[in-house]
Structure 1
Amino acid sequence: MQLRNVFIENQCDLFDIEISGDCIASIKPAMQRQVPATGEIYLNNAIAIPGLINSHDHLDFNLFPALGDRYYKDYREWAQHIHSAYKAEIDKVLAVPVEMRVQWGMYKNLLCGVTTVVNHGLPLFCASDIVDVFQHCQSLHSVGFEKMWRLKLNNPLRLRKSVAIHVGEGINGLAEREINKLLAANVLGRELIAVHGVAMNALQARKFKALVWCPASNYFMFNKTADINNLKHGTVILFGSDSVLTADWSMLRHIHLARRLGVLSDEELLQSLTTSPAAIWELDRLGKIQESYYADIVVADQRNKKGLDAALSITSKDILLVIKKGRVQLFDETLVNQILSSKLDVEDFNCIVVEGQVKYVRGNISQLIDRIRSYYPEASLPVKKLKPKEQINAYAS
């Protein structure tokens, strides 16, 4: 397969990207020929970026409504409140079998151009390959809620694994003291990856391998986020969405929020979603559009923007293609004829509408939606599934 006539990240020139198997075989200046040959997808005014890496999500928690009606001092206060005030809502979601909740969490990420997501929590069985799910670090919830966290942290049998943990998740003194408590308890010198770090200071940041920044979740809970402008000088910043319990379903909108805050440059922000997590999570040959790297690529309509401005302004509506290890996982309706002529098997795709635009998504997402609603009729999902007749008409067009 070849992607023709695309801009790549902040490059000013157009390129052709050839994909062979699961990797990028070549990247060359775009040919002038306008009519695509078999196996080529010709794009117009489109930008290609590496498949995004979401460094923090709870995949089984993405069917919840946002829970909370005020700002909180820390995660403990928030948790205590929602479990008392929203018990009925929580029970309804938990009635949905976990495998369905996990699969929806994976689709939520795919619709935002995520090809790899780091799941935080107990290891989950992921029955499909919609996105790659990273679960190879040791996940501890927090100092406050993880039972026997000191013993787990200092388990010599897990010494070579990084530890991802919610820490500094609040705006009070307790949240800040928990960071020091965690650092003091780390007697084996484990590599620590902090999640949230709202209460973290620059000195503490130096003791962590990385910090996963989740600004949308932080503002929902605390009306404040981590001091990224200072913390980025002491540790590596990664980007995470968290679940819809505390954030909008679209990580792309979280990225737009992060840009408005102005605490990372556009280059730094894109790195927090690509090269930085690839390095921290040790994801071989991911995070770049580069020859011999895995073909994890998102292609989107640039609209009226260019370069990093276009790359970081993408919405789900704008996404034209999501490719994971050389395999198309999502494509826009405007590419139907080219996809069919490229001999891609489309039998495994469903039509859905996202932000008013028809997309074709690998896997039976329509059936998944029906199954979820059989358990949880009130489920609010950001997609509309098309009826079988509408799907046929969409293919025919």
Structure 2
Amino acid sequence: MSAQGVTFINGAIESGASTLRIVGSRMASVGEGPEPGDVVIDLHDARLLPGLINAHDHLQLNNFGRLKYRSHYTAVGDWIADVAAYLQTNAQLKAFEAVPREQRVLLGGIKNLLSGVTTVAHHDPLYGCLISDAYPVSVVSQYGWSHSLLIDGEERVRRSYQATPAAWPWIIHAAEGIDETATAEFEQLDALGCIAQNTLIVHGIALKRVQRQRLIEAGAGLIWCPASNLHLFDHAAEVGDLIERGRVALGTDSRLSGSRDLLNELKVAREIAGLDDRTLQALVTTNSAQLLRLTDRGVLRAGAAADILVVPRMPLADASRADICLVMSRGKMLYADRHYAGALAPPSSWVEVSVDGRPKAMDRRLAMLWAQSGLQEPGLDVSAAGWRAA
């Protein structure tokens, strides 16, 4: 006798299937009908996707707004220096920085969850709160990283790469700028032995065609953050040749320079590169999973983690946070339209909230954490949540 599960029917799945069955935290089957005792959810032709993957964020930096102090930059070091200087003198920025890191990290998780993201690659130390069961999204935990050659220097970068298991991704900001120094960083990394099959360069604005070809030959990849790049440099990386080879994943960067969320980043990517919906979807699902070595994410197949996104029948880049019908992480409903929440979870486990003026449901424990943080996320209102009286 099979275990009780949840079966979604009449969904629009890219493979052409229309059903997906979940048991516990895993997908049990795709294209097969429900088993006796299953909860059956009729999607009425809505799109059923794997939870999205944000390939680059700094989860503790999303309470800041976008910062820059010149019309545009040529070198990222100038922007870093400007931000550091203003943090010393600007009272508002100092107040943002003074918010406890655990609260700021929670905001980063909420930002991602509300845009359909279930997995994030965090480009900083793996703080303990990020691997808590209470955290809103899954955070990549098997990775090596260095900030950049500018911040860490050649020897620390080399040691970081050498200490990273070959089966894990190694992630570094590089070629972030439009000057010769940014272009030369690729050659520095290559000379250090840091361009290999698990290397992921973040930004890569200054990469030349021959350098991108070297990335492809090495089996490495690029994490593309076009909104951040345009904001700071008025340029974004050339990615067409890398996309053709499946070597690009999409990331938001933090809100210090990047998009509000991954749905906005998809819109920017479509606008500047003319990418179709299938290609854009791959940048935040299958490509990201492959480059980040996430074998159970980014796909709808038996055995994969039950990370699920349901959106209306529209191009993904047209969707907004309010359009999202359902986000499940490891088989648990975290954010949804209220009728989905009512079908998937007992009333005691979720509360009513509002997102961009649209009534929604959110996991009760998550809503409690958010309300207690005292932070604000524009468009998210938990004031109607019933947990205070529970």
TM-score range, shorter chain: 0.7 to 0.9
State the Cα distance separating 1:200 from its structure 2 match. Answer: 0.8
- Aligned partner of residue 210 in structure 2, secondary structure: helix
Aligned positions of 1:1-397 closer than 5 A: 1-9=6-14, 11=16, 15-28=18-31, 39-69=39-69, 70-87=71-88, 88=90, 89-125=92-128, 126=130, 127=132, 128-146=134-152, 148-154=153-159, 156-160=162-166, 161-186=168-193, 191-208=198-215, 209-232=220-243, 236-302=247-313, 305=314, 309=315, 311-339=316-344, 344-373=345-374, 379=376, 381-388=378-385
Higher percent of residues as strand: 1
Q: Which deviates more from structure 2 when the two are superposed, residues 125-134 or residues 362-371? A: 362-371
Given that residues 4 and 43 in structure 1 are in contact (C-alpha distance below 8 angstroms), is that contact kept between their aligned partners in structure 2?
yes
Given that residues 100 and 368 in structure 1 are in contact (C-alpha distance below 8 angstroms), is that contact kept between their aligned partners in structure 2?
no
1:382 maps to amino acid: G
Given that residues 130 and 362 in structure 1 are in contact (C-alpha distance below 8 angstroms), is that contact kept between their aligned partners in structure 2?
no
CA distance in 2, matches of 1:45, 1:233: 30
CA distance in 2, matches of 1:264, 1:180: 29
CA distance in 2, matches of 1:184, 1:174: 15
Given that residues 350 and 364 in structure 1 are in contact (C-alpha distance below 8 angstroms), is that contact kept between their aligned partners in structure 2?
no
Gap regions ≥5 residues in structure 2: 1-5
2:198 maps to amino acid: E
Q: Which residue of 1 aligns with 2:3?
A: none
State the Cα distance separating 1:254 from its structure 2 match. Answer: 1.0
State the Cα distance separating 1:356 from its structure 2 match. Answer: 1.4
Given that residues 56 and 240 in structure 1 are in contact (C-alpha distance below 8 angstroms), is that contact kept between their aligned partners in structure 2?
yes
Q: Which deviates more from structure 2 when the two are superposed, residues 229-238 or residues 164-173? A: 229-238
- Aligned partner of residue 105 in structure 1, secondary structure: helix
Given that residues 216 and 254 in structure 1 are in contact (C-alpha distance below 8 angstroms), is that contact kept between their aligned partners in structure 2?
yes
Q: In structure 2, do the counterparts of structure 1 residues 216 and 187 end up closer, same or farther at CA, with 3 Å as the change threshold?
A: closer
Given that residues 57 and 251 in structure 2 are in contact (C-alpha distance below 8 angstroms), is that contact kept between their aligned partners in structure 1?
yes
Q: In structure 2, do the counterparts of structure 1 residues 16 and 334 end up closer, same or farther at CA, with 3 Å as the change threshold?
A: same
Given that residues 68 and 232 in structure 2 are in contact (C-alpha distance below 8 angstroms), is that contact kept between their aligned partners in structure 1?
yes
Aligned length: 372
- Aligned partner of residue 55 in structure 1, secondary structure: strand
Q: Which deviates more from structure 2 when the two are superposed, residues 261-270 or residues 124-133? A: 261-270
CA distance in 2, matches of 1:381, 1:51: 23
Instruction: State the Cα deviation string for residues 226-248 of structure 1 (Å, max 9, x = none).
Output: 01124435770011011111123
- Aligned partner of residue 44 in structure 1, secondary structure: coil
TM-score between the two structures when normalised by the length of structure 2: 0.86
State the Cα distance separating 1:261 from its structure 2 match. Answer: 1.9
State the Cα distance separating 1:42 from its structure 2 match. Answer: 1.8
Given that residues 159 and 190 in structure 1 are in contact (C-alpha distance below 8 angstroms), is that contact kept between their aligned partners in structure 2?
no
1:185 maps to amino acid: L
Q: In structure 2, do the counterparts of structure 1 residues 223 and 350 end up closer, same or farther at CA, with 3 Å as the change threshold?
A: farther
Gap regions ≥5 residues in structure 1: 32-36, 393-397
Q: Taking every aligned residue pair, what percent have the same amino acid on both sides?
A: 26
Q: What CA RMSD, in Å, does the superposition of the two structures yield over aligned residues?
A: 2.8
Given that residues 113 and 319 in structure 1 are in contact (C-alpha distance below 8 angstroms), is that contact kept between their aligned partners in structure 2?
yes
